[in-house]
């Protein structure tokens, strides 16, 4: 299990992985961008994890950052930005390996009726 970021009002650029065999949490390197509530993590076909959007700082502040976690190196890299800053949206891995982001809210709690596709295959 990968846990990223912190609570509302306390964005932190950290993440930890739970190792059930050892019953312990293992820290990763610093996350490229702080994320809090409303971010979405997607396991990609090549084993990396894409974390996008969510909030940052005092609520409500949606972010557009996309970060890629590589479990082989335990490192994070900035991987671009979303077309719109979103929080509390859905992320769906498509058969092509791209990720569909849909709905969610913006910084003013307005609701999105739009969607965007992030070409995750370029992240490996």
| Domain range summary for the chain, segments of one domain joined by + | 2-123
Residues in contact with 89: Cβ distance below 8 Å, sequence separation at least 6, in sequence order: 38, 40, 53, 101, 102, 103, 104, 105, 112
Q: How far is CA 3 from CA 13, 19, 35, 110, 119, in A?
A: 11, 12, 11, 27, 23
List, for residues 84-100, the tens digit of each pLDDT value.
889 889 999 999 889 99
List, for residues 8-57, the tens digit of each pLDDT value.
666 677 788 899 999 999 988 888 887 777 888 999 998 999 999 888 76
Fold of 2-123: Neuraminidase (2.120.10)
* Predicted model pTM: 0.84
């Amino acid at each position: 299990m990968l846990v990223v970021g912190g609570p509302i009002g306390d964005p932190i650029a950290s993440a930890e992985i739970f190792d059930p065999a050892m019953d312990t949490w293992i820290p990763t390197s610093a996350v490229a961008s702080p994320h809090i509530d409303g971010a979405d993590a997607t396991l990609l076909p090549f084993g990396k994890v894409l974390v996008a959007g969510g909030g940052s700082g005092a609520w409500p502040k949606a972010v557009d950052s996309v970060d890629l976690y590589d479990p082989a190196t335990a490192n994070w890299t900035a991987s671009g930005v979303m077309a719109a800053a979103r929080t509390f949206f859905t992320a769906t891995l498509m058969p092509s390996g791209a990720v569909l982001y849909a709905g969610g809210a913006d910084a003013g709690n307005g609701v999105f009726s739009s969607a965007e596709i992030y070409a995750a295959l370029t992240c490996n």
